[in-house]
């Protein structure tokens, strides 16, 4: 048969998904091994890197009961971004990974502001100075775990830790993960040496940066014995999960975008250069190859806001079933666009784009004795769509038109959102053929480019297929433009109340 399969390992927040793809992008088989997240203190979130690695090895071993190791041409990796794993020279973790959702390093973020203004920081890194990113976490380690900080040879992200253990190549990363450390000069595509020097962090402890398609090593003898993979099987560095999802969603040229509706939700647009919005409302990270950029806006609660409304407003206290979701979607379809004046602000957990305000609360308003659950259901769908459209409006403000929009994630399986979003966004949408496979597919593309199965990421994009297309309706789109005008005013009117509620504790 020849070596024409690509194996991928995607280390997510709740577990690792290991998959095998053929050269046409078809997922041949997949398994998932879960691992826990520890919450040792309020607002802390950690994972044991050894547990993640154990899940990876178990997933690989399980897959090789379904495919022959002789058919694996390459292994590609993806993982959660903006974590912090200190490792020694051998790649052994010295502390649990302080993962993306951890917010302990808020004081360290404030300390960074003492040496660089927020605006200058954004122009340097393409991102706001926020405690969820890696750089403040490194400073937290120095302040609170000085022994670990002193022993650390490298500061790694999830997939870089995995790469070190699969190949023995320690201290390497790709451009996408390097970007969301917020220690990268995103315009010059190198570590921000002056900033790191000001902070007293040796740049030599930051991993060397390579394209995600680079194959710097292969499966070691030890890993081969533990998993069944052939020793020397090439392993591409891969990328952060956001970059992999973008490529797996088919983004190939500037102006192409994807929207993911998971618990949180976001819109990501491929651009030639970082988009340095003067108001710092959006974020940037380089693609795996470092040659183009992903500009994105993230809302804290997408499907999470929908799930809350379903559980608390539209069903009983029991967990909603598939039949419940179908019923709620059918209820929403019975109401005209605009929900006859009912509006839903889905900011149930603070908000990132565009407000960057932890005090923001959710709000359902505009209802009267006339309205019923059908209006609420429609307003919830529309509220998430309007929140995502906020991010698109910022991209337009920055001179970045969107030519296409691929939908991935759990929300892409909805029968209502694809048409609704096409009308709210004013951009035709497509639904990915396998909405849950985009991240793994992107990792497969990087590996395929690395071993020559694909000539480039652009040519690899041809393997991405859509299951449906949704062109939108001009009349409905015009209605949504009117309603969106009202929606945009909600936050400004309600902010004093949100702040007052926050002061009450």
Q: Would the pLDDT of 219 be above 60? A: yes
Where b means 16+ CB within 10 Å and e means fewer, 342-364 reads: bbbbbbbbbbbbbbebebbbbbb
Share of the chain above pLDDT 90, in %: 95
Greatest extent of the chain over all pairs of C-alpha atoms, in Å: 70
Residue 377 lies in a domain: yes
Q: Give 129-153 pLDDT, tens digit per residue.
A: 999 999 999 999 999 999 999 999 9
Task: Tell me which residue has tokens 């694909």.
Answer: 454
Looking at the 3D structure of the chain, how many domains does it have?
2
The pair of three-digit structure tokens given for residue 371, joined into one six-digit string: 């309205």
Tell me what pLDDT residue 1 has: 45
Task: Tell me which residue has tokens 């088919």.
Answer: 250
DSSP assignments along 162-216, one per residue: HHHHHHS--SEEEHHHHHTTT-EETTTTEE-HHHHHHHT--GGGSPEEE-TT-EE
Residues 228 and 313 in one domain: no
Q: Would the pLDDT of 258 be above 50? A: yes
Tell me what pLDDT residue 2 has: 62
Q: Can you point out the beta strands (E) in 325-378?
A: 343-345, 363-365
Tell me what pLDDT residue 360 has: 95
Mean pLDDT of the chain: 96
Find the helix or strand (DSSP H, E) in which 161 lies.
helix 158-167
Residue 443 lies in a domain: no
Q: Give, as one character, the DSSP assignment of residue 497.
A: H
The pair of three-digit structure tokens given for residue 68, joined into one six-digit string: 């022959």
Is residue 228 within 8 Å of 234, Cβ to Cβ?
A: no
Mean pLDDT for 121-128 is 98
Tell me what pLDDT residue 3 has: 80
Please state, as a whole number, how many other Cβ atoms lie within 10 Å of the Cβ of residue 460: 25
Q: Give 303-360 pLDDT, tens digit per residue.
A: 999 999 999 999 875 667 778 889 999 999 999 999 999 999 999 999 999 999 999 9
Residue 436, classified by CB atoms within 10 Å of its CB into exposed (0-12), middle (13-18) or buried (19+), is middle
* Domain stop point among 192, 215, 243: 243
Is residue 230 within 8 Å of 5, Cβ to Cβ?
A: no
Residues 129 and 262 in one domain: no
Q: Would the pLDDT of 171 be above 80? A: yes
Residues 355 and 319 in one domain: yes
Q: Give 379-416 pLDDT, tens digit per residue.
A: 999 999 999 999 999 999 999 999 999 999 999 999 99
Please state, as a whole number, how many other Cβ atoms lie within 10 Å of the Cβ of residue 473: 14
The pair of three-digit structure tokens given for residue 192, joined into one six-digit string: 């921000």
Residues 219 and 354 in one domain: no
Residues 286 and 230 in one domain: no
Residue 435 lies in a domain: no
Tell me what pLDDT residue 18 has: 98
Q: Round to whole Å and give the CA distance between 119 and 7.
A: 42
**pTM for this model (two decimals):** 0.94
Residues 29 and 74 in one domain: yes
Residues 356 and 297 in one domain: yes
Residue 454 lies in a domain: no
* Domain stop point among 221, 243, 265: 243
Residue 266 phi/psi, 5-degree rounding, is -155, 160
Residue 171 lies in a domain: yes
Q: Would the pLDDT of 191 be above 50? A: yes
- The residue segments making up the domain with residue 44 are 5-243
Q: Tell me, what CATH number does 218's domain have?
A: 3.30.420.40
Residues 69 and 186 in one domain: yes
Residues 315 and 216 in one domain: no
* Domain stop point among 183, 210, 243: 243
Residue 161 phi/psi, 5-degree rounding, is -65, -45
Q: Round to whole Å and give the CA distance between 51 and 48.
A: 5
Please state, as a whole number, how many other Cβ atoms lie within 10 Å of the Cβ of residue 71: 17
Residues 343 and 232 in one domain: no
Tell me what pLDDT residue 319 has: 67
Residue 440 lies in a domain: no
Q: Please list the alpha-helical segments (H only) found in 249-372.
A: 303-309, 322-333
Residues 135 and 283 in one domain: no
Residues 45 and 173 in one domain: yes
Residue 12 phi/psi, 5-degree rounding, is -95, -165
Residue 167 lies in a domain: yes
Q: Give 75-109 pLDDT, tens digit per residue.
A: 999 999 999 999 999 999 999 999 999 999 999 99
Residue 429 lies in a domain: no
């Amino acid at each position: 048969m020849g070596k024409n399969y690509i194996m991928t390992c995607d280390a997510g927040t709740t577990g690792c998904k290991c998959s095998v793809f053929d050269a046409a992008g078809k997922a041949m088989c997949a398994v998932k091994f879960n691992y826990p997240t520890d919450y040792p203190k309020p607002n802390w979130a950690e994972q044991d890197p050894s547990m993640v690695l154990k899940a990876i090895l178990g997933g690989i071993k399980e897959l090789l009961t379904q495919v022959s190791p002789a058919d694996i041409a390459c292994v590609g990796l993806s993982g959660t971004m903006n974590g912090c794993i200190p490792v020694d020279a051998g790649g052994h973790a010295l502390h649990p990974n302080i993962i993306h959702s951890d917010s302990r390093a808020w004081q360290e973020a404030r300390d960074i502001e003492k040496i660089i203004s927020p605006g200058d920081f954004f122009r340097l890194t393409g991102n706001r100075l926020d405690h969820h990113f890696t750089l403040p976490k490194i400073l937290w380690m120095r302040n609170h775990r000085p022994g670990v900080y002193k022993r650390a040879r490298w500061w790694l992200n999830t997939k870089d830790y995995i790469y070190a253990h699969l190949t023995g190549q320690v201290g390497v990363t790709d451009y996408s993960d390097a970007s969301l450390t917020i220690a990268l000069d995103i315009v010059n595509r190198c570590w921000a040496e002056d900033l790191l020097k000001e902070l007293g962090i040796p740049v030599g402890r930051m991993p060397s940066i390579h394209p995600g398609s680079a194959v710097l090593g292969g499966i070691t003898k030890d890993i081969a014995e533990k998993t069944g993979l052939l020793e020397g099987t090439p392993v591409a560095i891969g990328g952060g999960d956001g970059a992999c999802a973008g490529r797996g969603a088919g983004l190939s040229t500037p102006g192409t975008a994807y929207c993911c509706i998971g618990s949180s939700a976001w819109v990501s647009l491929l651009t030639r250069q970082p988009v340095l919005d003067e108001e710092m409302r959006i974020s940037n990270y380089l693609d795996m190859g470092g040659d183009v950029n992903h500009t994105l806006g993230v809302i804290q609660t997408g499907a999470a806001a929908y799930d809350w409304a379903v559980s608390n407003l539209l069903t009983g206290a029991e967990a909603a079933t598939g039949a419940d979701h179908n019923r709620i979607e059918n209820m929403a379809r019975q109401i005209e666009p605009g929900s006859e004046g009912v509006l839903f602000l889905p900011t149930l957990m603070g908000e990132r784009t565009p407000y960057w305000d932890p005090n923001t609360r959710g709000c359902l308003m505009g209802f009267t004795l006339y309205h019923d659950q059908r209006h609420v259901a429609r307003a919830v769908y529309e509220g998430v769509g309007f929140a995502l459209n906020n991010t698109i409006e910022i991209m337009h403000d920055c001179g970045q038109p969107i030519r296409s929009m691929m939908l991935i994630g759990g929300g892409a399986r909805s029968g209502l959102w694809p048409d609704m979003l096409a009308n709210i966004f004013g951009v035709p949408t497509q639904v990915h053929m396998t909405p849950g496979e985009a991240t793994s597919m992107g990792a497969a593309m990087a590996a395929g480019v690395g071993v020559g199965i694909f000539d480039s990421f652009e040519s690899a994009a041809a393997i991405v297929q859509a299951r449906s297309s949704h062109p939108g309706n001009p009349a409905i789109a015009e209605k949504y433009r009117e309603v969106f005008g009202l929606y945009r005013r909600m936050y400004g009117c309600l902010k004093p109340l949100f702040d007052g509620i926050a002061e009450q504790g």
